[in-house]
Amino acid sequence: MTKQAFGKTQDGRGIDLYTLTNRNGVRISITNYGGAIVSIETPDRQGRTGEVALGFDSLDGYLGDHPFFGVIVGRYANRIARARFSLKGVEYRLAANEGENHIHGGIRGFDKAVWQAREVARDGAPALELSYLSKDGEEGYPGNLSVTVLYSLSDGNELRLDYTATTDKDTVLNLTNHSYFNLAGEGMGDILGHELTLYASRFTPIAKDLIPTGELRSVAGTPFDFRRPVAIGDRIDADDEQIRFGGGYDHNFVLDSGGGSLALAARVADPASGRVLEVLTTEPGVQLYTGNFLDGTVKGKGGKVYARRSGFCLETQHFPDSPNHPEFPSTTLKAGDSFRSATVYRFLTMP
């Protein structure tokens, strides 16, 4: 692991960039500002290493408005309807930062926090541990919440994120990483030709405001059936109400594994480059987002323009708006209990 200065925040706090490299030449760079995965360099079928993560060359890009490139999202990833929920008979009101709804932790979520960094070892290899104390009342959430995210890179080309958290007061919690991927290469066009497999027989339909209705709907016979490999672009503009609501794919899929133990959630292959990404998680859901709101106004690394659908996200998670849907898997973390979750991004190549 190497460490270098990455810039300073507006109040003068120094921010660092940590780079993990394995024996195959895979390089992962992470900053302690927002816990963002800044860079993922991995080989194609010819052994040529290329950048596959959307993001910025310097801290300045992350300090401004951006679509959550690579960051840790919390306290609650995804959306909470009407920016409120009740817990033990008490209503908590959150920041409404997407219309009347709350998204991705609020105005100053975990993506804008400066995390404490520590170099540690996992399975004998260097790893990066980031920790953050979210104080009681931050963005409206109850409880002093201590969160740790451990990033480790194996020689099997697996980037693993281990999340842990404790609280001194009952609260709700839903953590994810919000990396955007383009396996053809960051800034190298759209991802519509990428072939996606999702190990999910159901998804959670949304209303016009992108909040789940509460239904768990079968993917069979719909544009959401990725149980066998399908190019992302094949049905992304289908004449389907759910597609119209999302402007493409912006939906939570209910994983067949059910969560609890590490299991394969998704596989994406780019036929052109031969790169393959597999996502494993202990979470019960994954949000497929196809960069529908990227519009060419964001310039990333090397000044490359990120146009619509130039990246995809697979956000491992509990379901959106779970605090307001008791029929969904619970996101309540009780005082004194420990939250644990793991997600693995495995990088492969095909012939």
- Cα separation, 278 vs 39, in Å, equals 17
Q: 43: closest CA among 302, 277, 349?
A: 349
Amino acid at 262: L
Q: State the DSSP string of 53-114.
A: B---SSHHHHHS--S-TT-EE-SB-SEEGGGEEEETTEEEE----BTTBEETTSTT-GGG-B
User: What single DSSP character describes residue 329?
Assistant: P
Q: Which residues pair with 128 in a beta bridge?
A: 119, 151
- Cα separation, 44 vs 24, in Å, equals 12
Q: 346: closest CA among 191, 161, 70?
A: 161
Structure tokens at 165: 């958290």
104 is catalytic: no
Q: 253: closest CA among 207, 229, 289, 277?
A: 289
Q: Which of 139, 315, 318, 325 is catalytic?
A: 315
Phi/psi for 44 (5° steps) reads -95, -170
- Cα separation, 328 vs 334, in Å, equals 17
Distances in Å between the Cα of 252 and the Cα atoms of 134, 148, 231, 321 are 26, 25, 18, 11
178 is catalytic: yes
Q: Which of 66, 104, 178, 325 is catalytic?
A: 178
Q: Is 323 helix (H, G, I), strand (E, B) or coil?
A: helix
C-alpha dihedral, 240 to 246 to 247 to 249, nearest 10°: -80
Nearest 5°: the CA angle 205, 211, 330 is 85
Q: Which residues are catalytic?
A: 178, 315
